[in-house]
Amino acid sequence: MKRRTFTNSFLALSAAPLLAHQATTSSVAAAEPSGPPLMGGSITDVPGIKIGHHTLTRRPTGCTVILCEDGAVGGVDVRGSAPGTRETDLLDPTNAVQQVQAILLSGGSAYGLEAATGVMRYLEERKLGFKMRAGVVPIVPAAILFDLGVGDFTIRPDAEAGYQACLAAASGPVAEGNVGAGAGATVGKMFGPAFAMKGGIGTASHRVPGTDVVVGAIVAVNAVGDICHPDTRQILAGARREEGQGFRDTMAAIMSGYRVVTSAGSNTTIGAVATNVPFNKAEMNKIAQMAHDGFARSINPVHTMSDGDTIFALSTGKASAVRADVSAVGAIAATVMAQAVARAVIQAESLTEHQLPAHRDYVKG
């Protein structure tokens, strides 16, 4: 790939819509909302990325692992005020470790961080990690979401759940909706859990025409706010009206001075973006930062005191001959992330035993 060809492609890209609608790779067909079709594809379209889910259906909850067994340069950006993370300091450009072998997204609140131990075990068995004289130390940054209010509080992802997610990891189509870290996810909680709806896992990707560049995203949507179509701002899932039809429109209610009830720290949307273009840690941190624009386009309100919103960014470097503009790739990452957020609620299924309707059942027409 010649630099001039790639540069010209990105110049053309800046004057054209970023979205290129692709066929979905989800195992379940999306129930499309009105408006422009949502982007398809998945983060596994990025060479070097595998995704594995493990779901504890008894509660439900679960975890999702993003495996990059050949290593990937990582970055992270945390915007919410109630985060739960591990190993994020290692992704600071001033710190020594240059590559990660996996990222873990988990339910279970802080308890769910234990699942990263199982991911480390899986990687150590395969001698993947930071090389030491006596062995390896797998680098596994992680983030959790709070789903303990759905079902049995005592059932949380543990080390075995993380290990099983790794065993399930593949580079093919990615299941969405009520799986992995999205199994117990909910949205629209500003007015309390009685008016919430089902969240879930979503993924999408974009291949830049005329280049080898691929950008993908995966996200577990568990926001306090409403989820909107990123193009039309149509509410797809969120705080329901008391009469059982339609949406309150959380931001409209806030702007009108409605007295809302919040549960601090009981939310959080966590995810990752990935690309095959080589970037360094500082650039990947910038891409993670820009990817939060995707949250802002599809979640309203977002980055609240009750959210721990966190986005990781990964560069597998598989398109080794390509030199790309970090701002352009960051802009694409934001667009893909917004699409993945919308897909998460479109693909979710209702949990009737917990009085949590999903978009496919609640939205008529």
- How is residue 87 written in tokens? 């190993």
Crossing angle of helices 115-125 and 159-168, in 10° steps, is 50
CB 62 within 8 A of CB 183: yes
Mean confidence (pLDDT) of the chain? 89
Q: Quick check: 79 pLDDT over 80?
A: yes
As a whole number of angstroms, the distance between CA 110 and CA 132 comes to 29
Q: What is the pLDDT of residue 34?
A: 62
Give the lowest-confidence range in 47-56, 142-151, 248-257, 325-334: 248-257
- The phi, psi pair for 201, rounded to 5°, reads -100, 140
Q: What is the pLDDT of residue 259?
A: 61
Element (H, E) at 206: strand 200-207
Q: What is the pLDDT of residue 81?
A: 86
Q: What is the pLDDT of residues 205-218, one digit of tens each?
A: 999 999 999 999 99
Question: Which amino acid is residue 272, in one-letter code?
Answer: A
- CA–chain centroid gap for 139, Å, is 19
Beta bridge partners of 186: 198
Q: Quick check: 260 pLDDT over 50?
A: yes
Mean predicted confidence (pLDDT) in 119-145: 97
Give the lowest-confidence range in 38-47, 116-125, 254-263, 314-323: 254-263
Per-residue confidence at 364, pLDDT binned at 50, 70, 90?
low
Mean predicted confidence (pLDDT) in 234-248: 91
Q: What is the pLDDT of residue 264?
A: 54
Element (H, E) at 286: helix 281-298
Q: What is the pLDDT of residue 261?
A: 57
| Nearest alpha-carbon partner for 274 in 91, 119, 141, 76 | 76
Residue of 17 and 244 predicted with greater confidence? 244
- CA–chain centroid gap for 2, Å, is 32
Q: Quick check: 235 pLDDT over 60?
A: yes
Q: What is the pLDDT of residues 19-36, one digit of tens each?
A: 333 333 333 444 556 678
| Nearest alpha-carbon partner for 149 in 61, 86, 227 | 61
Q: Quick check: 220 pLDDT over 70?
A: yes
* Domain locations in the chain as residue ranges: 21-362
CB 360 within 8 A of CB 318: no
Per-residue confidence at 237, pLDDT binned at 50, 70, 90?
very high
Q: What percent of the chain has pLDDT over 90?
A: 80
Residue of 101 and 81 predicted with greater confidence? 101
Per-residue confidence at 80, pLDDT binned at 50, 70, 90?
confident
Q: What is the pLDDT of residue 306?
A: 81
Instruction: Choose which CATH entry (3.90.1150.10, 3.40.190.10, 3.60.70.12, 3.30.465.10) describes domain 21-362.
Output: 3.60.70.12
| Nearest alpha-carbon partner for 33 in 242, 213, 247 | 247
Q: What is the pLDDT of residue 21?
A: 32
Residue of 132 and 263 predicted with greater confidence? 132
